[in-house]
């Protein structure tokens, strides 16, 4: 397995892309797509909290998108619930570029701090997360559809409960 690291100066921002030569051709194709697509989105959990806000419009449960800001806050030694609440408040008021500034430990506009993520990495993260969830559901349906190989109810000795 070979590892190549390329650096490219894009709008005075440095982006590093790893291209791994492996056995899967789709993996190589996706990595070349990363090299060609230089679109950027605000980083520091900004994209994830905006996605979580939009998912919560349809559901009142905690979303998996909250894990990124929660993990960033915990690793920085900050109160994760307080950070997530302030991120939701900022995004609800229309400040969609507000993310977590770990140096000051509070929410700030990350576009002024030049904290960016590649759009294509967010795209593939969501794509593979959805694929993994669908695979788990598919396997669960197969397992639930098959009968267990244990003794049948008619073979049980007398006096045994059905539980």
DSSP for 118-153 reads EHHHHHHHHHHHHHHHHHHHHHHHHHHHSPPSS--G
> Could you tell me the fold of the domain covering 40-122?
GROEL; domain 1 (1.10.560)
**10-residue stretch averages of pLDDT, the chain, 163 residues long:** 45 40 53 71 91 86 85 92 94 93 91 90 88 84 64 60 58
pTM of the model: 0.62
Q: What is the pLDDT of residue 57?
A: 86
User: How far apart are alpha carbons 12 and 67 in whole angstroms?
Assistant: 30
Q: What is the pLDDT of residue 160?
A: 59
Every domain of the chain with CATH number 1.10.560.10 lies at: 40-122
Helix (H) or strand (E) holding 49: helix 46-56
Structure-token match 């000051």, residue found: 104
């Amino acid at each position: 397995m070979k590892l190549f690291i390329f650096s490219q100066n894009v709008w005075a921002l440095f982006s590093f892309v790893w291209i791994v030569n492996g056995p899967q051709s789709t993996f190589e194709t996706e990595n070349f797509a990363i090299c060609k697509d230089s679109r950027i989105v605000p980083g520091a959990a900004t994209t994830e909290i905006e996605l979580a806000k939009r998912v919560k419009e349809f559901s009142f449960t905690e979303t998996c998108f909250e894990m990124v800001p929660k993990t960033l806050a915990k690793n920085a030694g900050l109160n994760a619930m307080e950070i997530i609440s302030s991120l939701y408040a900022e995004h609800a008021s229309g400040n969609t570029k507000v993310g977590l500034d770990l140096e000051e430990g509070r929410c700030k506009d990350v576009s002024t701090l030049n904290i960016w993520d590649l759009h294509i990495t967010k795209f593939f993260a969501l794509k593979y997360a959805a694929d993994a969830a669908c695979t788990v559901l598919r396997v669960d349906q197969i397992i639930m559809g098959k009968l267990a190989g244990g003794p049948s109810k008619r073979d049980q000795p007398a006096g045994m409960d059905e539980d």
